[in-house]
Chain A
């Protein structure tokens, strides 16, 4: 009995250590930092000033909302692009071409995000590949700048997130029996109605789990908005970075971090409620 219990604790230990040392402890420390304010050099007093600053300064709130809305938009676009791809991979492609297509989605992720993003810079910049190609075709008479704006940033974010939507979607769609779809047609269903009544409800756990992952990745992304975004594209993670690194204002940075954590939790919770999914079901079946 006691050896069984020992085994249980040994198995549990890595998880507890991981959660405790790497997630819970740092967060407690951050929470404490976020709840104090500087009064004089090396003197701090407990206060809610940092959270008050977040709520009262329009810039912070605006950047925050902008980041959240654009992340949702990225998620929706990714879903719209990824769904047909996943459906094709899971249902229409067979055998080797299926594996090949899946691999093609995977290959870009073998290089680091930095290199992938830099690839987009090379394509989109004023003296870049696409601009040069358009001029060669005669469609443009002078260099075209496609970098440093929100569209370029969205492109980068969608590209970066694609795999994380395709994998859960393909997995759930594969588990859908072809016979069920055929039965839908036999019973007089049309393409759209079969999609609406059979395919999407079945794929819902995959859709929701893919959306959650993509949303979280976009919301917390720092590299892509920094490299592809323009002079107006301030992302919330950039605000956090600059508070910590450039302004030496850890207190405000920590408060921002908690606001981001709180908001993303609320949005994920709301999405689960709206779609009638539970976290267990989504995570269990989706990935």
Chain B
């Protein structure tokens, strides 16, 4: 009976009661999202232990698909990658909103994420960390790069790097004056857009030095000066900015692409209590600020900005003047099957001469 009581308790009650039944929380997440300092505090407060596995969106979904949603207790895919895979593979379980302290979240972001991750009336995702992808530019070497399509400029031959993944397709489509998000539900129209982007990317191929695979690879290319303009995440640009003031993240003229990484429960997770305790713990403003410092990205935690690092705030403001924030294109949920079409286009770009 007492066990039942705990389940309904708030985060603090959970924290106090948890040592009675300590679980292991198997967390599948991104690098920086679960810093050691935060894990230590969480373990001390709740008695749960945390095992972290680092991954990315595609691997998270592939791992959960392989086990039918088992092997992990809490995962952090982006909000646009929840509804589609859930419909397709059934790898998540609905979130019991009564166990989450909604007052810890920025309301608009919480509502938007809930709406985007709802399948058959059940909510499958809550926002945790958000950020954008756009351009990282060395302004001393490539001052004219303002938008994705500027990466095709022949004067930059052998100095440009981006990755062959869906953000590149979407970013180029926007920069070419099309709206891929509006075409998400119309497969034929979307295919039409992709065909144009594919042709453009193949045309741009001689300019590219290498298609990067991992974030560290790109940071190395930019830091060494081997690449002077690239497509990447905002945090990467700010990290480089700390070492070299010429390099910074630039929100592209056609709009930076906004993503929100979420909390989602795998269908066969075993430690839901620990998962809810983790969610309520890391969304506390002072803890969220610690995560921001480690990951470099801001969280959906209400009031965490006050604790954020001044340098990061300044970098954020220089990359995002007010109009650039309004111009962010937030990813809508990806309909099933679109990723296959995108995959074929990307393969053709990679194989093209």
Contacts and interface: CB of A to CB of B under 8 A. Distances in A.
Interface of A: 41-42, 59, 62-63, 125-127, 143, 145, 147-148, 226, 230-232, 234, 239, 242-250
Contacts of B348: 59
Given A232-B353, A246-B343, A127 B89 contact: no
Among B61, B85, B89, B209, the one with the most A-chain Cβ atoms within 10 Å of its Cβ is: B209
Contacts of A250: 65
- Which 10 residue pairs of A and B lie closest in terms of their CB atoms, listed nearest first? A247-B343, A148-B210, A127-B224, A245-B62, A126-B226, A246-B58, A41-B88, A41-B87, A234-B351, A59-B351
Interface of B: 58-59, 61-62, 65, 85, 87-90, 158, 165, 205, 208-211, 213, 224-226, 336, 339-340, 343, 346-348, 350-353
Contacts, number: 69
B350 A234 contact: yes
Nearest to B62: A245
* A interface: dominant SS: loop
Nearest to A242: B343
A127 B225 contact: yes
A117 to B, nearest CB: 13
Contact of A239 (B62, B226, B347): B347
B340 A242 contact: no
Given A231-B350, A234-B350, A239-B347, A248 B65 contact: yes
Nearest to B339: A247
Contacts of B89: 42, 248
Contacts of A232: 350-353
Contacts of B347: 59, 234, 239, 242
B88 A42 contact: yes
A103 B346 CA distance: 44
Nearest to A250: B65
A244 B350 CA distance: 17
Nearest to B210: A148
Nearest to A247: B343
B62 A244 contact: yes
Contact of A231 (B59, B208, B225, B339): B208
Nearest to A58: B351
A62 B88 CA distance: 31
B340 A247 contact: yes
A232 B352 CA distance: 7
A230 B225 CA distance: 18
A146 to B, nearest CB: 12
B160 to A, nearest CB: 11
